[in-house]
Amino acid sequence: MTMISSVEAAREARVANPDWWRGAVIYQVYPRSYQDSTGDGVGDLAGITRRLGHIASLGVDALWISPFFKSPMKDFGYDVSDYCDVDPMFGTLADFDALIVRAHELGVKVLIDLVLSHTSDQHPWFQESRADRTNPKADWYVWADPKPDGTPPNNWLSIFGGSAWQWDGGRMQYYLHNFLTSQPDLNFHCPQVKAELLEVAEFWLERGVDGFRLDTINFYTHDAELRDNPALDPALRNDQTAPAVNPYNWQEHLYDKSRPENLGFLRELRAVMRPYGAAAVGEVGDAQRGLEILGQYTRGDDLMHMCYAFELLAKDLPTAQYVADVMHRVERVARDGWACWAFSNHDVPRHTSRWGLSDAATRAYAVLMMCLRGSACLYQGEELGLGEADVAYEDLQDPYGIEFWPEFKGRDGCRTPMVWDAGVHGGFSEASAARPWLPVAPEHLLKAVAEQEGDSASMLAHYRRAVALRKGYPVLAKGAQEIEAEGDVLRITRHGEGKEMLCLFNLSETACTAEAGEGWAAIEKAGALGAVAPLNRQVALGPWGFALLAR
């Protein structure tokens, strides 16, 4: 199949099934760390294409690829210098086209990570904008005069530490950067900026992508009056979106992000995507109002399709009561929206380490993810049961970790190379290749794909069965949900189109008994997943045990 016919066929399929994203399972790849095909120690697009068979074997619906655009790599691709080209370290546009074709041949859709809130300071747009105050792009970024005493225009803080304002001696003004100083924020109050970004989205849609993951979606628009953020009640502080050592957590972020004006741009973006049948999942970074914003941004059919907040990416182990409380809150504030859940990604420590999970607990949470209402994201290596790697200070690459070391070690521990075999470099690079950009964690080698492949008792096999569970029972993907905590037992009922399922999870180390009620029987796939069957009305759940029933 040619590139053009492949793109057209995929588009027709999406348009014919516009709800394909609802309840989908999405697999995230961090391209620097997935597969190195050139021997330079950095993963690339050709490497991802080489490993698409593994991704398809998981049974997932879609692949989300973190940024691969041209970039100075100060924040490893999240600082874009050209939205419409591939950075040479990752390959070429032809490599991307080949990836799209092969993924679609395997039945896997492709979402790419669009970073629209900010660019690199090396982007030609910013280079022109900073030249003077009268050039055509002078207001494409957020510029502001200093206060009379020369200090920044307000008290806004950067997630990466310090003031969110950086002085520029050329314009004799400050520019806004919610992240690194080398990541200036675009000005979404400027119509030309929004029009240009919509063209970027269309460029990739024409190239065949099935949708987008939208980085920091609630950071797009700032308060035009540049009002100070108020102080946050210390009792409400948490470290869901910034480490606890960062004073960013001391403000209530009312004016630097999550502005109501953002909804207009999201509607314009949805209108661009609609003819392509494409879908988007937005990252909502807000420690206090994440679920409310999720509800705002996904309400109806003219905004975003789905969003994820950080409630299940949080530091503390999600107990039965916590999960039930989160889902009840979603029902209150996002009843008409759609959530996308994840336990791990490229920004947080891997959940097996973050929560201190045993093998049994890891398996239980994997199945739980597939039983919750919403779409689901799996992060590369999660299917192997990988824990957080311990990266020495001298090996750190993440500027976030370098800034706050040792209280916060940054994000490198979840970004170490994927392990494909137990050999040198874990199969990420050839044995003779350059040292990988981050060291391969020795403890990961015993959990490599080749070590688990063919073992029906492995974590890899378990994840494949868990994904197959959702695919085999559509009520888990799109059905309504009722959820309650009964002590350590989480009770989830899913129903729709005449089907009903009951999913019971003992989220503790202590055996217990749960009441199932009348008429339930174990589902066909239950035994293979390690689930137990009811004994009359009672279900005996061992530590981290679960039961999957239907009637």
How far is the C-alpha of 260 from the C-alpha of 218, rounded, in Å?
A: 10
Q: Give SS3 for 176.
A: strand
Query: Hey, what are 356's tokens?
Result: 């201190």
Bridge partners, 281 (sequence order): 213, 306
How far is the C-alpha of 293 from the C-alpha of 288, rounded, in Å?
A: 10
64: which residues sit within 8 A by CB, 6+ positions away? 26, 27, 28, 29, 111, 112, 113, 213, 281, 377
How far is the C-alpha of 5 from the C-alpha of 3, rounded, in Å?
A: 6
**Residue in 113, 121, 283, 347 annotated catalytic:** 283
Calculate the CA 382 to chain-centre distance: 13
Q: Give SS3 for 157.
A: strand
Examine the residue annotation and report whether 215 is marked as an active-site residue of this protein: yes
β-pair type (340-342, 375-379)? parallel
The answer to whether 519 and 546 are in contact (CB under 8 A) is no
Q: Give SS3 for 326.
A: helix
The answer to whether 384 and 464 are in contact (CB under 8 A) is no
DSSP codes of every residue in 484-535 = EEETTEEEEEEEETTEEEEEEEE-SSS-EEEE--TT-EE-TTHHHHTPPPPB
- Helix-then-strand count for the chain, H and E: 16, 20
Examine the residue annotation and report whether 453 is marked as an active-site residue of this protein: no
β-pair type (69-70, 82-86)? antiparallel
How far is the C-alpha of 125 from the C-alpha of 140, rounded, in Å?
A: 8
**Residue in 61, 79, 121, 215 annotated catalytic:** 215
> Where does 241-316 have alpha helices with state H?
262-273, 290-297
Give the Cβ contact number of residue 272 at 10 Å.
16
- Nearest-CA neighbor of 450 among 460, 440, 442? 460
**At residue 326, what is the residue type?**
V
Q: How many CA atoms lie within 13 A of 329 on its CB side?
A: 15
* Active-site residue set: 215, 283
